[in-house]
Amino acid sequence: MAQETPLYKKGGGFLLAETPAGEMFTPEEFSEEQRMFAQAADEFMEKEVLPHNDRIEQQDFDLLRDLMKKAGALGLLAVDIPEKYGGLGLDKVSSMLIAERMAKQGSFSVTWGAHTGIGTLPIVFFGTEEQRQKYLSGLASAEIIGAYALTEPGAGTDAMNIKTRAVLSDDGKYYILNGNKQFITNAAIADLFTVFAKVDGEKFTAFLVERDTPGLELGAEEKKLGIKGSSTRSLTFTNVRVPVENVVGEIGKGHHIAFGILNIGRYKLGVGAVGAAKEALKVAVNYAKERVQFGRPIADFGLIQEKLAHMATRIFVTETMAYRLAGLLDEAMAGLDPNAPDYTQKSWNAVAEYAVECSVLKVYGSEMLDYVVDETMQIFGGYGYTQEYPAERYYRDSRINRIFEGTNEINRILIPGMLMRRALKGQIPLIPMAAKTAKETLTLMPTMMPRPEGPFSNEKFALGMAKRIALTLAAVAADKFKENIRNEQEVLAGLADIVTEVYAIESILLRALKSGDALMASIVEMYTYEAMKRIELRAYEILPYMSEGDELRTLISTVRKLVRPFTPPNLIQKRREIARKVIDLGRYPF
């Protein structure tokens, strides 16, 4: 990234600098072309996919393949593939808009996501010219279906520990693969697998393995809780001969591909959660409007309205964070020449820059969706628990999102870990800023401090305090544990949650400032207050572990001082206001 990039635009920079409101991309700024792509994806889902929900859920894989081909014909598989290889090479905002729409049907969404993401992108970013020419146009049209095989029975989260071996044949023309892979999405319909194996048991490497290569066998379909219409199988490799020209990237560098590709999967998962949650909210509110108890639609009741308001709020937060990230990615890639030889390397660097934000979105989005589908089921009452209504499927389909693309535990650990790595590489001035902030904070008198001018004065002030708490705790943790911090998982997860709330508050505040919308303003006031309470609690959980005696008392009272100056807004009133809009529109209100 160029040196003059302002700090607030750098990956993780949101924690250290103020972003001017005008500088953040928001959904209100989608271009006509971006909206057209979203609409095409919407129509495809409504006309082609959703009517076949039952057949998809019964694992009609012929239908799934046909649907993928139809999606391919509409360009919905080609978004992230450069034009010169038969793709559309669209911007990341369009790419996210399409991912959001695809998520209306969980099984299809996972099939589509694995194909266009982990099944295609290793070739886009790391393939040789021959590999790109050979496979990408087929992947764009679904003539070829892609899959990605990293996980093994003994190596899930601990993916560096894979045991699949690759040994060069005596004639030097093939790598011979032996080993087992577990939980491979699209296995039943895939023609091409990106397989990770260790050359000579040591050098982590990616290989392209075609489905009909002798020695590659598929296991039975896993019987899953949800996303039942997607295929998940194990793979067995017995002396599978893979031509040397099918090595992707460099021998021994496959882990960069394996883990880097997941960053893209993570932001797509986050935005997919937005699409799935909007669908669940729509179904839930319309049921609430029709279902009558005590002579009134249940949507009239305060506790149902409270749920609808929380659901819409959390979707709004995730949506805003997602498109902020898409805007940053597009800006980082703007000006890159798609025909330049270093184009893919530079666009890869742009995604790597925002790996922290990708993890934030994955964790927040997956937990938001679990919350939304849980409340959807609650709104449906006993009927929600039956297969007659979609609430039950939404509930089952959502749960996988906290497990794959790096479990949420691992992503929580990664968030502060990656921030620290960027700091140590000199990419962001986290260490000096945290130390300086911590020192200042201990003597600060927030009640005496002037409030920012203009709208959202309280919330802007709160955001400043939230950043201050995050940086102070980071400095205390770094001082206490030094390099052993990596073993203090509960502290890291606490920091991750605080950092995530900072990103959330800032994102919605900037969006509301930019749009001037009154309902967004209510959401910002409500959410900021609630998020500050969560930040306070998280701080109280980790501080007594990091400090004691007078120092602990001072730190606790400092955190209390930093969050105290906020009078609670009329939360009940604001929630009713948000719910009213959801009820009137019968859907997510923005």
Ligand X SMILES: Cc1cc2nc3c(=O)[nH]c(=O)nc-3n(C[C@H](O)[C@H](O)[C@H](O)COP(=O)(O)OP(=O)(O)OC[C@H]3O[C@@H](n4cnc5c(N)ncnc54)[C@H](O)[C@@H]3O)c2cc1C
Smallest distance, ligand X to C-beta of residue 235, A:
10
Q: Which of these, 269, 218, 266, 262, lies nearest to 240 by C-alpha position?
A: 218
Pick the binder of ligand X from 137, 407, 427, 515 (CB under 6 A): 407
- By CB under 6 A, tell whether 401 contacts ligand X: no
Q: Which two tokens stand for residue 546?
A: 């990091």
Pick the binder of ligand X from 16, 24, 114, 299 (CB under 6 A): 114
Q: Note whether 397 and 305 are within 8 A (CB).
A: no
**447: DSSP letter:** G
Which of the ranges 177-185, 241-249, 385-393, 422-430 carries the binding residues for ligand X, by CB under 6 A?
177-185
Q: How far apart are CA 230 and CA 107, in angstroms?
A: 5
- By CB under 6 A, tell whether 108 contacts ligand X: no
Considering 57, 367, 405, 459, which one is annotated as catalytic? 405
Q: Hey, what's the torsion of the CAs at 479, 480, 486, 490, to 10 degrees?
A: -120
Q: Hey, what's the torsion of the CAs at 218, 220, 222, 223, to 10 degrees?
A: 160
Q: How far apart are CA 151 and CA 172, in angstroms?
A: 27
Pick the binder of ligand X from 56, 79, 184, 248 (CB under 6 A): 184
- By CB under 6 A, tell whether 107 contacts ligand X: no
Toward ligand X, which CB reaches closer, 118 or 562?
Answer: 118
Which of the ranges 168-176, 368-376, 403-411, 515-523 carries the binding residues for ligand X, by CB under 6 A?
403-411
Helix%, strand%, coil% for the chain, nearest 5: 65, 10, 25
- By CB under 6 A, tell whether 260 contacts ligand X: no
- By CB under 6 A, tell whether 157 contacts ligand X: yes
- By CB under 6 A, tell whether 269 contacts ligand X: no
Helical packing angle, 302-333 and 92-102, nearest 10°: 150
Q: Count the residues of the shown chain that bind ligand X, applying the rule CB under 6 A.
A: 19
Question: Which residue number places its CB atom closest to ligand X?
Answer: 156
Toward ligand X, which CB reaches closer, 178 or 286?
Answer: 178
Q: Which of these, 193, 209, 60, 192, lies nearest to 138 by C-alpha position?
A: 192
Toward ligand X, which CB reaches closer, 360 or 524?
Answer: 360
- By CB under 6 A, tell whether 185 contacts ligand X: yes
Which of the ranges 50-58, 149-157, 346-354, 379-387 carries the binding residues for ligand X, by CB under 6 A?
149-157
* DSSP output for 7-61: GGGSTTGGGTSPPPGGGS--GGG--HHHHHHHHHHHHHIIIIIGGGHHHHHTT-H
Q: How far apart are CA 242 and CA 176, in angstroms?
A: 6
Toward ligand X, which CB reaches closer, 237 or 380?
Answer: 237
Q: How far apart are CA 207 and CA 122, in angstroms?
A: 10
Which of the ranges 378-386, 407-415, 446-454, 499-507 carries the binding residues for ligand X, by CB under 6 A?
407-415
- By CB under 6 A, tell whether 221 contacts ligand X: no
Toward ligand X, which CB reaches closer, 152 or 525?
Answer: 152
Q: Which two tokens stand for residue 266?
A: 């993570």
Half-sphere exposure of 101 (CA within 13 A, CB side): 24
- By CB under 6 A, tell whether 237 contacts ligand X: no
Triad 239, 241, 243: Cα angle to 5°: 160
Smallest distance, ligand X to C-beta of residue 412, A:
9
- By CB under 6 A, tell whether 194 contacts ligand X: no
Q: How far apart are CA 190 and CA 178, in angstroms?
A: 19
Pick the binder of ligand X from 112, 148, 174, 395 (CB under 6 A): 148
- By CB under 6 A, tell whether 410 contacts ligand X: yes
Which of the ranges 42-50, 180-188, 312-320, 461-469 carries the binding residues for ligand X, by CB under 6 A?
180-188
284 Cβ contact partners less than 8 Å away, ≥ 6 residues apart: 307, 308, 311, 375, 376, 379, 380, 391
405 tagged catalytic? yes
- By CB under 6 A, tell whether 156 contacts ligand X: yes
- By CB under 6 A, tell whether 149 contacts ligand X: yes
Which residues of this chain interact with ligand X, rule CB under 6 A? 114, 148-151, 156-157, 183-185, 224, 232, 400, 403-404, 407, 409-410, 489
Q: Which residues are catalytic?
A: 405
